[in-house]
Structures are given as C-alpha cells and as structure tokens.
Chain A
Amino acid sequence: NAGVTQTPKFQVLKTGQSMTLQCAQDMNHEYMSWYRQDPGMGLRLIHYSVGAGITDQGEVPNGYNVSRSTTEDFPLRLLSAAPSQTSVYFCASSMRALSTDTQYFGPGTRLTVL
C-alpha cells in the first residue's frame, strides 16, 4: 500500500492563478480531508468528504473547492490563488466517517503564492 499520496510536493503560483492539489489513497478509506498548516496555528480543516459524491466545509473553506468522484481521489482546487493561501497542505484519510480510527496523513504540499 502506498497509503496517502499527494502531488505536487512543492508549488509556486502567482496571485490569481488556479491549480489543483492532488490526493489519493489506496486503503479504501471512506473519510478524506484537507488541512492547511500555518506557523503557530496547528492544522485547520478546509474540506472533508465522507464518501464518493459527499463533501462538506471545514473551518476555512473560502477560496477552495473539492469534489470526490471516486473513493480513492480527493483533489483540492484553488480557484484564484492569493498570498494568504501560502501554506503547507495536508490530505488525510481514515477508514470510516465517525470511526474511532486515526487519520493517516499524506506527505504534504508546500504552496507559495507570490
């Protein structure tokens, strides 16, 4: 099992550009989520999904879109990048929504918006 994979590892964007951060898991996990990590602020939930076709907003959803067409993939789209979106983005998954399972995290994508 590859676990949770994310691409790209690093990305630099200009203000106003759009892009998609990719996340995939091969563990047949039902629950997937996106977080951003900023210095001194821990991780903040952006969006999550409890299954294919079902997504919802987390703490900080503005400026981001998600979709989940398959169990395996959960891409995060930045619609019009802003410097405030400079951050490290982590994707995570767990076996079932509302389960007691821990979340497994991907390696992260470091995004810089100029």
Chain B
Amino acid sequence: ELKVEQNPLFLSMQEGKNYTIYCNYSTTSDRLYWYRQDPGKSLESLFVLLSNGAVKQEGRLMASLDTKARLSTLHITAAVHDLSATYFCAVAVSGTYKYIFGTGTRLKVLA
C-alpha cells in the first residue's frame, strides 16, 4: 500500500523556537511537494523537491529530500505566529500521474 506519513500530526510551539516536520513515504518517487493550508482556505505551494539531497529555503522554512531514506523534512527556524497553518507533503508516484498526500501537520505557534 502506498503511504505518506507525516509526524507529528499536531505541533504547538513557542515563537522563536526551531522544529522539524517529517514526511516518510513508502513508494518510489522523484518529486516531492510541500504545501501550506490556512484554516478554511485552499492549499498554497511552498516547495518542489526533485532530487536526492535537494534543499530549498524560503524565509524561516527549509525543506530537504533524501530519496534513499524516502524521507523529507520541513524545518522551521525561529517560528513566528504567521507560520501557524497545516502543512502537507505530497509525493508523485513514479511512473504514474498520481499524487499521494500526507495527513498533514497542524502547526500552532504561540506568542
């Protein structure tokens, strides 16, 4: 069964702290995506990771990909309240046109 697992599912953190969200997947994939969703809103693209060792950074967020371990991480540096949202990783299944999403990590940054 194809699975994409994220942990933690819920994360409450203080402003200024660092933390990492993990995304493990069970299928072969050459493309991994991170999205952000604010409550009641649609999904917004954050990062596209295409190769082993890929690292991308935007502001306080940094994403990386290890295709051998089938693991991606989303690292949050010095969190601020505006980062409060649900974060999803999604994997493109190799050889298909299908995408599998993780269950999401709901992040709450406390002032």
A interface residue numbers (CB < 8 A to B): 31, 33, 35, 40-45, 48, 50, 56, 58-59, 90, 92, 97-98, 100-108
Contacts and interface: CB of A to CB of B under 8 A. Distances in A.
A50 B42 contact: no
Query: In the complex, which range does the number of interface residues on chain B fall in?
Result: 20 to 34
CB-CB nearest 5 A-B residue pairs: A102-B45, A42-B101, A43-B101, A42-B103, A105-B43
B48 A100 contact: yes
B58 to A, nearest CB: 13
20 contacts: A33-B99, A42-B104, A43-B88, A43-B90, A44-B101, A48-B97, A56-B97, A58-B98, A90-B43, A98-B97, A101-B48, A102-B45, A102-B48, A103-B45, A104-B45, A105-B42, A105-B43, A105-B44, A106-B42, A107-B42
Given A103-B33, A103-B45, A105-B43, A97 B97 contact: yes
Interface of B: 4, 9, 31, 33, 35, 41-45, 48, 50, 88, 90, 97-104
Contacts of B50: 100
Q: Is the interface of B mostly helix, strand, loop or mixed?
A: strand
B99 A45 contact: yes
Nearest to A56: B97
Contacts of B101: 35, 42-44
